[in-house]
């Protein structure tokens, strides 16, 4: 019989290792036999709470980055409700973006098992954010700049301008936390062109 307390213990144990743990390690820690553990892992994976990556003959179970369009927008609304009076909307995109950038950065640091994200990991993170939000971001990079072309926006047309500004603040915060400095410029589209967020890494 499925037990939620056991599920939570499994998830908590998996969280202790950013690179992942084997089912044998989980079973030993929780005190379950192999067959029962296999059933639990399958059920929890169906809920998208855990995932695995193949490492040789073993499966390493880990906590996937949980980022969706709904959670992204929900965090924005929560931040607004808790921190910003209705009459004060100036600077909202930057404040929300910084807050989200810090939280998303923590997710990816845990995912990569790193203290700092590398330049390449930041580029991959930007691209994955687009996919997880339901859009598509094309990344081009130079040593001093990362360009994010929004080839398919994940947001409703009426919200694109403000959301792109929030995204630029998210990207800036992630880059600055890991590389020391960053500033962003949003180039809004004209006619059929795509919006581009340029993240500059040098002063």
Most confident of 76-85, 127-136, 185-194: 127-136
Mean pLDDT on 191-197:
82
122 in the same domain as 48: no
Give burial (CB, 10 Å; 0-12/13-18/19+) of 120: exposed
- Per-residue confidence at 188, pLDDT binned at 50, 70, 90? confident
- DSSP-derived secondary structure for 108-133: HHHHHT-SS--HHHHHHHHHHHHHHT
Q: Provide the CATH number for the domain around residue 115.
A: 3.30.1380.20
For residue range 114-137, list pLDDT tens digits in order: 999 999 999 999 999 998 888 899
188 in the same domain as 90: yes
Q: Which of 23, 44, 62 is the last residue of a domain?
A: 62
* Positive or negative torsion for Cα 131, 18, 106, 196: negative
Say how far apart CA 203 and CA 69 lie, in whole Å.
32
135 in the same domain as 87: yes
Say how far apart CA 145 and CA 184 lie, in whole Å.
9
For residue range 3-17, list pLDDT tens digits in order: 888 988 999 999 888
Q: So what's the pLDDT on residue 54? A: 84
Residue 47 has pLDDT above 60, yes or no: yes
192 in the same domain as 163: yes
Q: Which of 62, 78, 101 is the last residue of a domain?
A: 62
**Boundaries of domain holding 43:** 4-62
Mean pLDDT on 187-191:
72
Say how far apart CA 185 and CA 183 lie, in whole Å.
7
Return the number of other C-beta atoms located less than 10 Å from residue 201's C-beta: 19
CA angle 201, 69, 147 (to 5 degrees): 25
Would residue 56 be called left, alpha or beta, if left means φ above 0 and alpha means ψ between -120 and 50 degrees? left
What's the domain count of the chain?
Answer: 2
């Amino acid at each position: 019989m499925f037990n939620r307390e056991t599920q939570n213990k499994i998830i908590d144990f998996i969280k202790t290792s950013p690179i992942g743990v084997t089912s044998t390690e989980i079973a030993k820690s929780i005190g379950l036999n192999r067959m029962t553990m296999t059933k639990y892992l399958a059920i929890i994976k169906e809920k998208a709470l855990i995932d695995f990556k193949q490492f040789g003959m073993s499966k390493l179970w880990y906590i996937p980055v949980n980022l969706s369009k709904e959670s992204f927008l929900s965090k924005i609304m929560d931040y607004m409700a808790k921190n910003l009076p209705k009459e004060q909307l100036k600077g909202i995109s930057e404040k929300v973006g910084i807050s989200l950038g810090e939280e998303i950065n923590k997710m990816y640091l845990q995912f990569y098992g790193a203290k700092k994200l590398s330049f390449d990991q930041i580029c991959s993170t930007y691209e994955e954010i687009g996919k997880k939000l339901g859009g598509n971001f094309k990344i081009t990079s130079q040593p001093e700049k990362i360009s994010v072309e929004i080839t398919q926006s994940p947001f409703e047309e009426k919200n694109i301008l403000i959301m792109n500004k929030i995204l630029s603040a998210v990207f800036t915060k992630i880059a600055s936390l890991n590389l020391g400095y960053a500033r962003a410029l949003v180039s809004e589209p004209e006619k059929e062109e795509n919006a581009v967020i340029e993240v500059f890494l040098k002063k």
